[in-house]
């Protein structure tokens, strides 16, 4: 018990006696570090943001911003974090804090510590140019993203998920755009040249509740066979909401987000395999646009803070009908690799969901990886209909993946979310498209069929009629986009 500890702002702090359901935020505040605030307790406001020391591809360290309100504190055992208090002091401000003050980027100050941590994560991002950078050097092909790169290479989307109710975002943006590069004597910059803390095995029981981080995938699978009711957590973005908002107290939690076997991304001639516990932001970085449909999806998935922790395995594991990744993965024809002590089996994602939050995954199985078959469809798109453009839950989500040869649809896969008890393929619409000319007449007929796919319900996000209408409208929009793009290519 005494060996279980977290390094916070350079000081090792013991976790002994802390309840296993405690979040990092609650523990930090209870131990005298109140800089991180609780605004929403579900990862939407960013007031609780902290920096985690995570491994980078070169063997060094990346400072990654994350929501402390969603992370089980025991998941930080052996790890290293920096809070707003660790960035700088009243007499020696960190450059981020200094620029926020100069620009008038703080009024009540409640959100400021979270903004400072998120801003520091981008300030220390390897590859970000300094104050003399050309913004065009950082274009990634996404108009919304490219428009938000400052003259210093600062990606303003790094602050997504941080909300401010009184200051206004202009001075915060101005502060971000005036940041230079870290100096050579900056302690946090120097720390980046050293390896990040290695994952450690953790096993603790407090008041009858147990938290375990197994050392290997083999250990994890054996544990699941012995304890099939254990709750698996990776990014913990769902776990934190259940604990904070719904008062859930799981008696046995197994953390798998640092298992090397679940954090891989490999490409073969036949498929791209994505580890189930690889964070979405890391998937986006490693793929670098090579799967265009995912390149459209990922920037729309929650906030940067959430994507730094959330995983595809977690999004699929919950069985939610409104998760953003299933529609895109269904359109890509993805398959899941399920692992247990009995071995592995590969299943079609279209056959994985069996009912509302129900799947074919057995209790002693976990999702090891997601496999996306190659070659990819030639024409793809991801449409997310929500009340906000970014950082919102989908009312409807649609993934399109078509092959169009000589003006005729030769193959089609369409994934839907938010219109039934499970994510599903729009099979009837796919059949109506295949073999038909890619024309407005075909699209109008197929749109009527698509409107009738699924069994949408009415709730606080949208009515059933609206959801059905948006399905048909989405196909028309997809067609219009392809026509515009083909004209631009011809020109």
Query: What pLDDT, on a 0 to 100 scale, did the predictor assign at position 491?
Result: 56
- The answer to whether position 196 is within a domain reads no
Query: What pLDDT, on a 0 to 100 scale, did the predictor assign at position 484?
Result: 76
| Residues 323, 326: Cα–Cα separation, whole Å | 6
pLDDT at 434 over 80: yes
CB 238 within 8 A of CB 232: no
Element (H, E) at 63: strand 61-67
- The answer to whether position 441 is within a domain reads yes
pLDDT digits (tens, 9 = 90+) for 246-269: 999 999 999 999 999 999 999 999
- The answer to whether position 468 is within a domain reads yes
Query: What pLDDT, on a 0 to 100 scale, did the predictor assign at position 127?
Result: 85
Region 307-313 average pLDDT: 98
- The answer to whether position 243 is within a domain reads no
Given 140, 168, 191, the domain boundary residue is 191
pLDDT at 1 over 90: no
Region 190-215 average pLDDT: 96
Rounded to two decimals, the pTM is 0.94
pLDDT digits (tens, 9 = 90+) for 102-148: 999 999 999 999 999 999 999 999 988 554 443 333 444 444 444 57
Q: Counting every residue, how long is the chain? A: 491
Percent of the chain with pLDDT strictly greater than 90? 89
- The answer to whether position 49 is within a domain reads yes
Question: Model confidence at 159, in pLDDT bands (50, 70, 90)?
Answer: very high
Residues 6+ apart with CB under 8 A from 87: 94, 96, 97, 116, 117, 120, 188
Q: At what angle do helices 112-123 and 169-177 cross, to 10 degrees?
A: 30
Element (H, E) at 401: strand 396-405
CB 400 within 8 A of CB 380: yes
Query: What pLDDT, on a 0 to 100 scale, did the predictor assign at position 168?
Result: 87
Q: Please state the domain count of the chain.
A: 2
Given 166, 191, 216, the domain boundary residue is 191
pLDDT at 59 over 60: yes
Task: Identify the DSSP state of 486.
Answer: H
* Both tokens assigned to 332: 């890509």
Mean pLDDT of the chain: 93
pLDDT digits (tens, 9 = 90+) for 343-352: 999 999 999 9
Query: What pLDDT, on a 0 to 100 scale, did the predictor assign at position 144?
Result: 45
Percent of the chain with pLDDT strictly greater than 70? 94
CB 117 within 8 A of CB 86: no
Query: What pLDDT, on a 0 to 100 scale, did the predictor assign at position 133?
Result: 42
- The answer to whether position 318 is within a domain reads no
3-state secondary structure of 163: coil
CATH of the domain at 454: 3.30.390.50
Q: What domain range is 469 assigned to?
A: 379-490
Region 460-477 average pLDDT: 96
pLDDT digits (tens, 9 = 90+) for 373-416: 999 999 999 999 999 888 889 999 999 999 999 999 999 999 99
| Rg of the Cα atoms in the chain | 23
| Residues 227, 252: Cα–Cα separation, whole Å | 9
Given 169, 191, 213, the domain boundary residue is 191
- The answer to whether position 171 is within a domain reads yes
DSSP string covering 173-185: HHHHHT--PPPTT
- The answer to whether position 272 is within a domain reads no
pLDDT digits (tens, 9 = 90+) for 260-308: 999 999 999 999 999 999 999 999 999 999 999 999 999 999 999 999 9
CATH of the domain at 34: 3.10.20.30
């Amino acid at each position: 018990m005494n060996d279980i500890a977290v390094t916070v702002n350079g000081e090792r702090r013991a976790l002994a006696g802390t309840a296993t359901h405690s979040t990092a935020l609650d523990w930090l505040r209870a131990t005298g570090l109140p800089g991180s605030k609780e605004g929403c307790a579900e990862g939407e406001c960013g007031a609780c943001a902290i920096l985690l020391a995570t491994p980078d591809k070169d063997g060094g360290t990346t400072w990654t911003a994350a929501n402390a309100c969603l992370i089980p504190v025991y998941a930080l055992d052996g790890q290293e974090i920096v809070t707003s208090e660790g960035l700088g002091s009243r007499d020696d401000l960190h450059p981020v804090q200094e620029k926020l003050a100069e620009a008038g980027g703080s009024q009540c100050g409640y959100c400021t510590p979270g903004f400072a941590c998120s801003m520091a994560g981008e300030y220390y991002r390897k590859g970000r140019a300094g104050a003399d950078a050309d913004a065009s050097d950082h274009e990634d092909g996404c108009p919304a993203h490219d428009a938000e790169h400052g003259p210093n290479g600062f990606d303003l989307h790094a602050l997504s998920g941080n909300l401010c109710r009184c200051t206004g975002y202009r001075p915060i943006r101005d502060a971000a755009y005036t940041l230079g590069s870290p100096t050579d004597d900056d302690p946090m910059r120097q720390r980046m040249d050293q390896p990040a803390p290695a994952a450690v095995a953790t096993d603790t029981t407090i008041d009858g509740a147990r938290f375990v981080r197994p050392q290997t995938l083999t250990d994890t699978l054996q544990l699941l066979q012995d304890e099939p009711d254990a709750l698996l957590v990776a990014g913990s973005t769902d776990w934190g909401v259940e604990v904070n908002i719904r008062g859930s107290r799981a008696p046995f939690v197994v953390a798998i987000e640092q298992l090397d076997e679940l954090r891989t991304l490999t490409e073969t001639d036949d498929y791209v395999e994505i580890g189930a516990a690889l964070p979405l932001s890391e998937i986006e970085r490693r793929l670098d646009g090579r799967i265009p449909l995912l390149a459209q999806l990922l920037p729309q998935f929650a906030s940067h803070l959430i994507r730094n922790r959330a995983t595809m395995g977690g999004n699929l594991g919950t069985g939610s009908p409104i998760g953003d990744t299933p529609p895109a993965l269904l359109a890509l024809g993805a398959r899941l690799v399920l692992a247990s002590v009995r071995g592995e089996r590969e299943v079609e994602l279209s056959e994985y969901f069996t009912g509302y939050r129900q799947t074919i995954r057995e209790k002693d199985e976990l999702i090891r990886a997601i496999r996306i078959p190659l070659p990819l469809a030639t024409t793809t798109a991801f449409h997310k209909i929500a009340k906000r453009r970014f950082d919102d839950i989908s009312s409807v989500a649609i993934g399109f993946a078509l092959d169009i040869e000589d003006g005729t649809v030769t193959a089609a896969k369409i994934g839907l979310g938010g219109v039934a008890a499970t994510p599903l393929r729009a099979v009837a619409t796919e059949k109506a498209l295949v073999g038909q000319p890619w024309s407005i007449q075909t699209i109008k007929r197929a749109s009527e069929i698509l409107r009738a796919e699924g069994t949408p319900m009415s709730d606080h996000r949208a009515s059933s009629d609206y959801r059905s209408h948006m399905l048909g409208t989405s196909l028309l929009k997809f067609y219009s986009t392809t026509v515009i793009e083909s004209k631009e290519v011809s020109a």
